[in-house]
A and B are shown apart, each in its own frame.
Chain A
């Protein structure tokens, strides 16, 4: 079963606007990762935040983590049409090597 639940399921914005996606999870984690999936392609790792971190930046991406609420958010600033994709959060817990993926948010950026 999917540990992560993402919100919203779908998001449509205009180019240049910011996009925010949220992820909630259920168990304690080592880290939380965000992946992007373009249509018909595999997932690509975007950014990782460890459980002892609260915020992380990478280019136009900003990730926050609130372990007390078991939630994370991904912010994409100044969105571009090329950002159109599905975005998944994934959690890593304990000593297990597998990731547990959320259900994903479908982002559409309109030119």
Chain B
């Protein structure tokens, strides 16, 4: 059974460019979470979806960040325009209702904004 899939694994871009990160959750999972991890701030929840609907986006840092989940098997996190302080590892995780909130994480996307 495939786990959470994220692409790309690494992204290097220049300041001002648009960045799109992609996630495919585990089939059948109905919750999807986007996290950002940095040395300074640790692991931060950005936004999460339930059945493709955004539930809590209070962690999204600025209007430059947006996330969508057009269907149950795909989500995107977009940063436009990107800034050097957005450099971090971005994780996607999914979970299944009734399973004690155990979350399954993808391998992450390491974003570097120059």
B31-A97 in contact (CB<8A): yes
Q: Which residue of A lies closest to B110 (CB)?
A: A40
Residues A41 and B42 in contact in the complex (CB < 8 Å), given A33-B101, A92-B101: no
Instruction: Report the interface size class on chain A.
Output: 20 to 34
Minimal beta-carbon separation of B37 from chain A (angstroms): 9
Give how many B residues have a beta carbon under 8 Å from the other chain's beta carbons.
Answer: 22
Minimal beta-carbon separation of B75 from chain A (angstroms): 15
Q: Which among A30, A44, A98, A104 is the interface contact of B56 at CB below 8 angstroms?
A: A98
Q: Which among A42, A48, A98 is the interface contact of B48 at CB below 8 angstroms?
A: A98
**Across-interface contacts of B108 in A (CB, < 8 A):** 41-42
**Across-interface contacts of A96 in B (CB, < 8 A):** 56
Q: How many A-B residue pairs have CB under 8 A?
A: 55
Bound-state CA distance A42–B93 (Å) is 9
Q: Which among B50, B95, B101 is the interface contact of A31 at CB below 8 angstroms?
A: B101
A45-B43 in contact (CB<8A): no
Q: Is chain B's interface secondary structure helix, strand, loop, or mixed overall?
A: strand
A103 at the binding interface (Cβ < 8 Å) = yes
Minimal beta-carbon separation of A61 from chain B (angstroms): 15
**Across-interface contacts of A41 in B (CB, < 8 A):** 107-108
Minimal beta-carbon separation of A104 from chain B (angstroms): 7
A101 at the binding interface (Cβ < 8 Å) = yes
Interface string of B92-114 (1 = CB under 8 A from A): 01010000111111111000000
Contact sample, A vs B, 5 pairs, CB 8 Å cutoff: A31-B100, A33-B100, A42-B91, A44-B105, A102-B42
Residues of chain A touching chain B, judged by Cβ–Cβ distance below 8 Å, are: 2, 30-31, 33, 35, 41-45, 48, 50, 88, 92, 96-104
